Amino acid sequence: MKKVIVTAFEPFDKAEVNPSYEAAKQLPKRIGEADIELIRLPVVFGEAASILEKRIDEIRPDAIIMLGVAGTRTKITPEVIAVNIDDARIPDNQGNSPKFEKIDSVGADGIFSTIPVAKMVENMTKEGIPSELSYSAGAYVCNDLFYRIMNHLKAKTLDISAGFIHVPNPAESDAETKSELGIDEIAKGIQICVETVLKEV
């Protein structure tokens, strides 16, 4: 049986919920021939990655799909690359606020996702779910997690497909910028992404 870790974040910046987690909760425990393990991570620089790294080393999953919310976007956006920078617009949930700091002083400037991001967009689009590739995961905790995990896999030479997907605020939210997609449709998009990954691992 294959194993896939899906991560999503707790609420932050005074929000009551985080759409990434609300959507991910709707994923079935099994998709195809894979068991799905959902992990809710804190919005804290470094700590989110430490928690996930520990679980990766414990179970050695076949794939890792990390999720977060991008409040200024209206589509589901698989990320192409993680960049080696932390630059907090607002403090994280423990008050940390790094400003233009390298995540790893000797690490690569960028590390590409190893999940089939273009195919994900193609498959979601076929199902009528608005999606597009993103070439910037930002410089907040989402990118921090993404970079640290890709760096961890690279350092340990682990052959595990991994990447990050940003989701928008759902239509039913009271956010200023939101998607036409309801939370159920965002969940469907995530499931399509998981299914797309499973065809390649």
Catalytic residues: 79, 142, 166
User: Do residues 78 and 135 make contact, with C-beta atoms less than 8 angstroms apart?
Assistant: no
Contacts of 163 (CB under 8 A, 6+ apart): 64, 65, 66, 78, 79, 113, 114, 115, 117, 146
Distance CA 84, CA 137 (A): 11
Residue 170 carries which DSSP code? P
Q: Is 75 helix (H, G, I), strand (E, B) or coil?
A: coil
List 40's β-bridge partners, or say none.
8
User: Do residues 58 and 47 make contact, with C-beta atoms less than 8 angstroms apart?
Assistant: no
